Structure 1
Amino acid sequence: MLVAAAVCPHPPLLIPELAGAAAVELDELRAACASAVSALRAAEPDVIVVVGGADLAGTYGADAAGTLAPWGVDVRIGEGEPVLPLSLSIGRWLLEREHLAAAEFHAVPSDATSQNCAALGRRLADMAGRVAMLVMADGSACLTEKSPGSLDPRALPFNEAVVEALACGEVPELDPARAAELWFAGRAALQVLAGTGSSLNGDVLYDDAPYGVGYFAVRWTE
């Protein structure tokens, strides 16, 4: 049974060692992510799982680690083999900051169908005991003229609709093709959360686009 969830973004610059002098610009987001993740501990779960988008599907155990070497600084996250994709590496980093550990890490392909995502969500929610989930999900990268995907007028209402739903403890059905057009990287991971069928209460702790990419931090609690 899912008893808590946290939704956080996964930009490499979230890690201060990589951000350098620009680290202070994301201090508010880091604090919001810390509050969202700490809510997982407060729920007293028996198991924590992390879900994030990636190029390929993959399931990793508790010892899996990550590295940010592809983004310019060889910051290691965890002591195992650095096999985690970016989203799950940042997820592990967020958990370790709060002295928490995940039992499993799940990479979900960005083009995964909603049905497959929902099936994974149901399976994770049905794990034995109390389950908490950390969902790594970036919003649209088409929100401003300086966004990585350039400005798309459809992006802001799409992004806002997702955040509004999360605030109500819900995840809207997200069209994979439209999400891809709007560079909405968190689509698949959020559809996994939707598949849990939870009825938790939502609370948005952060919602902004400091680099033209939608970043939101949300906690779901009983």
Structure 2
Amino acid sequence: MLVAAAVCPCPPLLVPEVAAGAAPELDAARAACTDAIGVLAASRPDRLVVVGPAEQSGRGPHPQGARGSFRGFGVDLDVRLGRSGDDGANGTDAAAERELPPSLAVAAWLLDRTAWSAAPLEGLGVGEPLAAERCIQVGGEIAVRGERVALLVMGDASACRTLKAPGYLDERAAGFDAEIARALGTADVEALKALDAELAYELKAAGRAPWQVLAGAAAGAGLSGELLYEDAPYGVGYLVATWS
């Protein structure tokens, strides 16, 4: 059963080494992510599942100890998704088979930064095209993996908030992000299930599929939400929320 969830953005710029100057405008987002992971630890889970958007090569499960890297962003920095083999379920060989997608590498950095040790963990990369029904089904399957399951959900909102945004300015982006912020801040499962996948794609909102996995996992759990951070410093919507 899902007992807690944290929602965090996944730009590699959250990692100061990648930001090449620490990007102080993201300090508040980093602090909020730390607080959100603290909520996960306080929930005393028996398993943490980290979900994030992924391209084709990074989709599917990633075991505890899987390696990630920020070398593709010009930084000689490697991370692991938790300490390899801590729960005895995943060996180091399996963990080394595939590199984490960037979203899960950012999650691994956040977890390492907060010295996560509350529970064994695993990762799941989900593709942008994954249909809402399948996302919800996957979430439901995650929720029954243990008596006390927690989720760390990585994903950005629209990338079209300003003229300099990666997706340029789209007048629909602000309203879309506001509704996402409301749904995440109030743990509105039905609103997340009903997200318009086509609109999310047009607005380059990478978090759509992971958020719908969360919705599937949280169905019937009776969790309450709190929005910890909301901003778009680079024209991309970044949100941090907790469900408990």
* Alignment equivalent of 1:163, drawn from 181, 187, 196: 181
* Alignment equivalent of 1:74, drawn from 73, 76, 88: 76
For 1:42, give the aligned amino acid.
A
What residue in structure 2 maps to residue 92 of structure 1?
108
Q: Give per-residue Cα distances to partners, 1:141-170, cap 9 Å, x unaligned.
A: 001111110000011101100110111112
1:193-204 equivalences in 2 (<5 Å): 193-196=214-217, 197=219, 198-204=221-227
Deviation at 1:211, TM superposition (A): 0.6
For 1:206, give the aligned amino acid.
Y
Structure 2 residue matching 1:107: 3-state secondary structure: strand
TM-score, scaled to structure 1 = 0.96
State yes or no: 1:134 paired with 2:152. yes
Matches of 1:170 and 1:75, distance apart in 2: 37
Deviation at 1:23, TM superposition (A): 2.6
Matches of 1:105 and 1:132, distance apart in 2: 12
Q: Give per-residue Cα distances to partners, 1:164-200, cap 9 Å, x unaligned.
A: 0111112422122111101111000001001111321
Matches of 2:188 and 2:105, distance apart in 1: 25
For 1:21, give the aligned amino acid.
G
For 1:153, give the aligned amino acid.
E
> 15-24 or 107-116: which moved more?
15-24
- Please, what is the CA RMSD of the aligned residues? 1.3
What residue in structure 2 maps to residue 175 of structure 1?
196
What residue in structure 1 maps to residue 48 of structure 2?
48
Q: Give per-residue Cα distances to partners, 1:69-119, cap 9 Å, x unaligned.
A: 111112101276361001111111111112215521000011100011011
Structure 2 residue matching 1:21: 3-state secondary structure: coil
**8 Å Cα contact 2:15-2:22 kept in structure 1:** no
Structure 1 residue matching 2:111: 3-state secondary structure: helix
Deviation at 1:66, TM superposition (A): 0.4
- Misfit runs of 4+, over 2 Å: 79-82
What residue in structure 2 maps to residue 214 of structure 1?
237
**8 Å Cα contact 2:49-2:121 kept in structure 1:** yes
What residue in structure 2 maps to residue 113 of structure 1?
131
Structure 1 residue matching 2:23: 3-state secondary structure: helix
For 2:65, give the aligned amino acid.
D
Deviation at 1:22, TM superposition (A): 4.2
Matches of 1:66 and 1:51, distance apart in 2: 14
For 2:69, give the aligned amino acid.
T
Runs of 5+ unmatched residues, structure 2: 85-94
Q: Count residues in correspondence.
A: 221
Matches of 2:229 and 2:67, distance apart in 1: 27
Matches of 2:160 and 2:222, distance apart in 1: 31
For 1:25, give the aligned amino acid.
E
Structure 1 residue matching 2:21: 3-state secondary structure: helix
Matches of 2:232 and 2:21, distance apart in 1: 19
Runs of 5+ unmatched residues, structure 1: none
Deviation at 1:48, TM superposition (A): 0.5
Deviation at 1:20, TM superposition (A): 2.0
Deviation at 1:212, TM superposition (A): 0.6
For 1:214, give the aligned amino acid.
G
For 2:231, give the aligned amino acid.
D
TM-score, scaled to structure 2 = 0.87
For 1:96, give the aligned amino acid.
D
